[in-house]
Structure 1
Amino acid sequence: MPSPHHDLIALLQARGFIHQCTDLQGLSAQLDSGSLTVYLGFDATADSLHVGHLQGLMLMRWLQKAGHRPILLIGGATTRIGDPSFRDESRPMLSEAQIVENIAGITQTFGRYLTLGDGPGDGLVVDNADWLDGLGYLQFLSEVGRHFSINRLLTFDAVRQRLDREHSLSFQEFGYTLLQAHDFVELSRRHGCTLQLGGADQWANIINGVELSRRQGGTQLYGLTMPLLATSDGRKMGKSAQGAVWLNADKLAPFDFWQFWRNCDDRDVGRFLALFTELPLDEVNRLAALPGAELNQAKIVLANEATTLAHGQETARAAEAAARGLFEHGAMREGLTIVPLSCADLQRGLSLTDLLVAAGLQPSRGAARRLAAGGGVRLDGVSVVNVDTALPRDGCGWLLSLGKKRHFEIRLTD
C-alpha cells in the first residue's frame, strides 16, 4: 500500500507543482521517515507579493497540511544585492528603510496561506540578515567561497546567458548564489531544514546549497523546483495588461484580484484550478472540461476559491456579487477600485480623457480616444464617444467601464 508521503508526491506532480528534484527518490524516503522542515525564499523587492508567488505558497500549504514545517525566508540581506538569475541588468538598489517597509508588506500575506506560530508544525518567518549581517568577508571566503569553482559557476545558465548577451554582471551579483547556498546550510543548522523550494530559475542556486552542505560535511539536503509559469497568451504569471496582480488589498482591490481569475484565458482554467485552489482533482478536471460558455462557471469557481484564500470568504462573495451586479444590473459598485476625482477638477471642466490618463487607466490621450471610438468607454452603462468633453458638473460619481472586463467607480472627493 502506498505511504501517505508517496501519495503526496504523486498529488503534487498531478497538480503541476514539480519540475525538477535533486533526488526525488531520496526525498520520498525522507518524507516517509517523518516531518520535514522546508524553506521558500523571498527577496523584499516590493511591499507586496503578487500572484506569481502563489505557486510556491500553495506548495508550502500542501506540505504543511501533510505535516511538514514551512520556513519563509525573507532576504533582508540579499535584497541589497538582487538575484541576477536570467536578468539582463542589475536590480535597482533599495535603501534600508525601503527594505524594512517591503518586509512588513510581504509578511502580511504569509498568515493567509500558512499556519504560523511556535507549535511543532507551525511555520516560521526568518530574515537572512540575522546571520549574513554579522558574517565577515574573510570568514565567508573561508567557509563558503573555497568550496566553489569559478569555472563551474560560469557554466550555469543564469550566468552564461547574461555574459553571452554581453550584459554586465557585477562581482556583487555574482556572489548572490553563494549567499543563497549559505542560507540553505544555515537554515539546516539552525532549524533542521533539509528541503528548499523554488522556481525553475532557482535550480542552480538550490544545487549550490545542496553541494555546499555536502562539502562542509553537513546534512543531506534536497531541492525541488516548480515550473516557471506563464499565461497561455505569453504573459509572465503575476502580470496583467494593467500591471502586477498584487496580493495585498491596499495594492490591488480584491474585486480586481477576483476579476483577474475570472477573466483568465480558457486554456489556463484547468491548470490554474489545480495549482491555485484546493479543489479535488476530479472536480478540477470536471470544471476544466465544461463546454463552451459553461466554462465561465469554472472561472467563477476559480476566482472565488483564489480570492477566498487571499482575502477571505466574505470578500470573495462581495467581489462575485459586485461582478454579477455589474453584468446583470449595471449598478452595483461595492468592491470596485475607486478612481478619485476632486470637486475642483470637476468644476474646472476636467475631461474623461484627462482623468483616464492621470489615473493610469490609459497610457495616453490617443489610446483613450481610440478605446472610446471603438465603444470601449462607458459611464453608467452609456457609451462615451467623445472622451474629450468635460464630465457633467452636476454629477456625483459614475460607474466607469473600460471594455468588457475593467470596471471602476469614479468618486468625488473634497
Structure 2
Amino acid sequence: MDAESNLDDLNMQNGAAAAVQIAPVPRISIQAFCESPETANAINDAIEDRRMLKAHIKVHMGGAPAAIEAFRGAPTPNVIVIECSADRGTLLGFLDELAEFCDAGTKVLIIGRSNDIWLYRDLMARGVSEYLIAPVDVLGFVRAISELYSTPGSVPVGRVFAVAGVKGGVGASCMAHNIAWAISREFESSTVLVDMDLGFGTAGLDFNQDPPQGVAEIVFAPERLDANFVDRLLSKCTDNLSLLAAPATLDRNYDLGETAFDGLIDVLRASIPNIVLDIPHVWTAWSKRMLVAADEILVVASPDLASLRNAKSLLDTLRAARPNDAAPKLVMNFVGVPKRPEISVSDFAKAVDLHPLDIIPFEPKLFGTAANNGQMISEIEPGHKITASIGEIARVMTGRAEMRPVKKNMLNPLSALLSRRKS
C-alpha cells in the first residue's frame, strides 16, 4: 500500500456520512485559526452539533501566524486548531515557534492540503494530535475532536435513546418502558431506564418496583456523583435491565437547571450500552438538552389535532437543533379509538413531513392489564402484534434493523386496527 493510500485511511474522519458513532466531546476549550472562509464556516457549523454542547469554541482568521501571536502572552486552550496551506517547511517552522508558547497538555490539530505521509509523520513527531486534509466537513471535524479524548481500546460509549410524548397521555412512558425491556431481553444487552418525571413518574409502578432511592438523589447531590454512587441507586428489574426510578412525590420542587442530568448521562455512557430516557411532557432547558443530545429520539403521538400541532412544533425544533442527525422516529399510538373522530395517519404524516415508524392500535384491555399488574406487554401476551411492533421499534432504534415502510392500508386507523385484531 502506498503512502498516499495510508494517509487517506488516516483521514477517513473527513467523510460526511459516518456509520460509526461519535462520542460527545467533553467540556473543553477550543480555539481555531482558519485561513479560508470554508473551513471557518464548517467549524462554526460544528459548534451547533449536539455532540459539541459542552465544548467552548472560538473561531479566528489568520491561520498559524495569528495563533502564534495570540498565545505569546496568553494561556493556551485545551485544543488549538490551525489551518495552514503553506509548504511543509513553512508549516513545521510555524509549529516549532508555536511550541514555545504551548502549555503542557494542549492538543494541536492541523488542517492542511498536502496528502503526504512524510508530512504526517513529521507532525506526529512534533506532538501534533491530528492532521486533517481540507476541505473538512462538520461531522469530520466533530469526530476528530471527539477522538482526541477517546481512550484507545476503551469500551464503546453507550447510546442514549430519548422517548417523549407530544402531549400528556399519549403513552410515551409506556412505550419507553416496553422498548427498554425489549432491548434488554431481545438483545441480551445491558440497559438502564431513567425515569425523568420526578414528580409523577410511573416506571416504578410499571416494573412493580418501589426503590427507596433513584434519580432524584443524583440530581440533588451532584457532588456525590460517580459510577459507584449510580450503581448503588440502580434498581435491578432483570439480569440486563436496571431502573433509575423517579421519586413520584411532591414533597419538594423540581426546578432543575439545564445541565442537571449531564453528569448522570456521562457516567451511564461510560459503562452501559443502552440508556433509555423517559422524558416527561415538559419544555424546559434540561428536557430540551436531553432530547437534542440523544443519539436517537422517539416521538409518540396520537391522531388528534393537539398532537398534530405539538408534533409539528417539536419535530421542527429538533430538526433545526440536530442538522447532522437523522430525523426523530415517530410512533402513532392509541389509533382506532371507537367512536372518536381521528386525523388519518396519512394526513398526520404529511403534515409533520415524517412517516411513522409504527402504528399502535387502541387496545385498552392489553395495556390496562399490563399497567395494573406491573408487567410489560410481552409478558402479558408474547405473541401479540403489539409485542412484535415494540420489538421492531427497538431493533430500528438500536440500528439492528432498517426502518420499513408503513403499508398503505395501515395509514387508515380503522383498517390498521381491524387488520391487527384479525391476525
Q: What's the TM-score once normalised by structure 1's chain length?
A: 0.29
The TM-score normalised by the length of structure 2 is 0.29
